[in-house]
Structure 1
């Protein structure tokens, strides 16, 4: 299903090497912080960020009438590149965006100049099943990826048992609480700045509830992630993980082990988000990694 309009924007000179930022599941492109994007553009990169379908300013759909899969979400990566006239780009993916980047690097290597994955899991590693088993109290089979931190599990178990919030204030409160958990425990949490960003996300969404379609898309295509293909990645790869990652702890090391020549960078204090304290370190690493 491709008849979906996607919101995107770009920064920097059109003649600079392009970086395409791919945010995670159910997440708007503006979760790539403005300062983070600005540092990349100031470093001589043409930076593009976009809202996935069913998030932010991109189109939302009636999933029952127009179902799609995560392969369609992956194909949106190519569509954004095509819309901006970019034949190949440096891909930088966060969380599930990192999974999309890994798959594109396997599937269409000629369109990828380099790959950076941040707070992500290895393609085909079964990260979704690990989280589901953790939330439902099921044992993890031997050889599974490390499971989320207890505070992450506790938060989402409580959330699943509670009635859904109603109204802007209650919804934003819930979004801030979620960000607090995702932020981790390694750095101070700026609640005021987080609230301003979550209010922005709430206010720019065409339909905030439409993000749930990403879960339906994942269930519609359980074989989205091919297994045992990361050794096919031949583009230069940087893997970034926070020392206090609460969702996918240790998953970055697995990615780096499976992709030939990949480099693992552990950022002290960082959790699953991109707070201001890590912008300089992470963007400097990306700029060095994407130097041409």
Structure 2
């Protein structure tokens, strides 16, 4: 899909690659991708459906992904608040005062942060495959990886299959371009869940395209480091969110089981929780789910 405008916007020393689709006078939907994934993770079919429904759509590459700048994390560490500030810079760069913000995984945490701390910029919030931004999953992960039982009232860790994949992935060969693509496709397959079909050919094309356009493939790992940086701004109560909120969550999410989506919806006043049968953590390689997600976003942003 050909964008109506491709633009690089700047926040401080970081340049962010963005693209805009649709008529500038239409309501804006800002798509915010998840951890270590560039903006093209939002498929063209989704963008086209939103534009055809009368919305302007903006998607962008986070810092350390795609065509945006990479950062020396040791010298210039950043956190969720910085990624949220990048997102505001994208809106400012396109002259958008407020947008319907649609985020998945990390992108949904960014959406929560903005809805709490900069509510004037968020017309509505759609949070997909996410958890409350103040939930620190580290202790639950550590217990699960060492075979310890979960703690009462703790949001559940990833599934055993996902944790097995994490262990295997740590030693998987990534010497050649083919090995790097294979390793990433295996991750997307696990994130798809075990219920719905997985379009491996589409995933392989996507991964190869991401690798071709990345400035530095290793830089995306900085998102995990940023995710481990905790501060009081992440612990701000979600009860202060006033934007109408839709929480979309898969019934077969292997990374964030459905309890995470339910907990998020329970903390935001008036939020609506929609559990999508069979959906994993990333829906766009399961045939038919892109259309369903587009329909949910169109309905919510109406």
In the superposition, the TM-score normalised over structure 2's length comes to 0.91
Name the counterpart of 1:41. 51
Which of 226, 236, 245 is the aligned partner of 1:237? 245
Name the counterpart of 1:133. 143
Maintained 8 Å contact 1:71/1:224: no
Shift in Å, 1:163: 5.2
**Residue 154 of structure 1: SS of its match in structure 2?**
helix
Query: 1:36-86, CA deviations, whole angstroms, 9 ceiling, x for partnerless residues?
Result: 111111111111000000100000122233332332111101100000100
Shift in Å, 1:98: 0.4
Q: 1:163 to 1:283 in 2, by over 3 A?
A: closer
Name the counterpart of 1:166. 175
Maintained 8 Å contact 1:29/1:52: yes
> 270-279 or 193-202: which moved more?
270-279
The answer to whether residue 233 in structure 2 is matched with residue 222 in structure 1 is no
The separation in 2 between residues aligned to 1:79 and 1:238, in whole angstroms, is: 24
Unaligned runs of 5+ in 1: none
Maintained 8 Å contact 2:191/2:255: yes
The separation in 2 between residues aligned to 1:223 and 1:238, in whole angstroms, is: 26
Maintained 8 Å contact 1:121/1:127: no
The separation in 2 between residues aligned to 1:225 and 1:272, in whole angstroms, is: 25
The separation in 1 between residues aligned to 2:233 and 2:94, in whole angstroms, is: 27
Aligned pairs, number: 289
Unaligned runs of 5+ in 2: 1-10
Shift in Å, 1:140: 2.9
Maintained 8 Å contact 1:91/1:114: yes
Maintained 8 Å contact 2:81/2:113: no
Query: 1:167-214, CA deviations, whole angstroms, 9 ceiling, x for partnerless residues?
Result: 210000000000000000121111111101110111110101011122
**Residue 92 of structure 2: SS of its match in structure 1?**
helix
1:66-77 equivalences under 5 Å are: 66-77=76-87
> 19-28 or 137-146: which moved more?
137-146
Shift in Å, 1:226: 2.8
The answer to whether residue 271 in structure 2 is matched with residue 262 in structure 1 is yes
The answer to whether residue 286 in structure 2 is matched with residue 278 in structure 1 is no
The answer to whether residue 62 in structure 2 is matched with residue 31 in structure 1 is no
Name the counterpart of 1:109. 119
1:156-235 equivalences under 5 Å are: 156-160=166-170, 162=171, 164-219=173-228, 221-223=229-231, 226-227=234-235, 229-235=237-243
The separation in 2 between residues aligned to 1:189 and 1:82, in whole angstroms, is: 37
Q: 1:218 to 1:282 in 2, by over 3 A?
A: closer
Shift in Å, 1:116: 0.2
Shift in Å, 1:225: 5.4
Name the counterpart of 2:299. 288
Maintained 8 Å contact 2:173/2:179: no
The separation in 2 between residues aligned to 1:230 and 1:137, in whole angstroms, is: 32
> 139-148 or 171-180: which moved more?
139-148
- Moved beyond 6 Å, runs of 4+: none
**Residue 260 of structure 1: SS of its match in structure 2?**
coil
Shift in Å, 1:138: 4.1
The separation in 2 between residues aligned to 1:218 and 1:188, in whole angstroms, is: 30
The separation in 2 between residues aligned to 1:225 and 1:170, in whole angstroms, is: 39
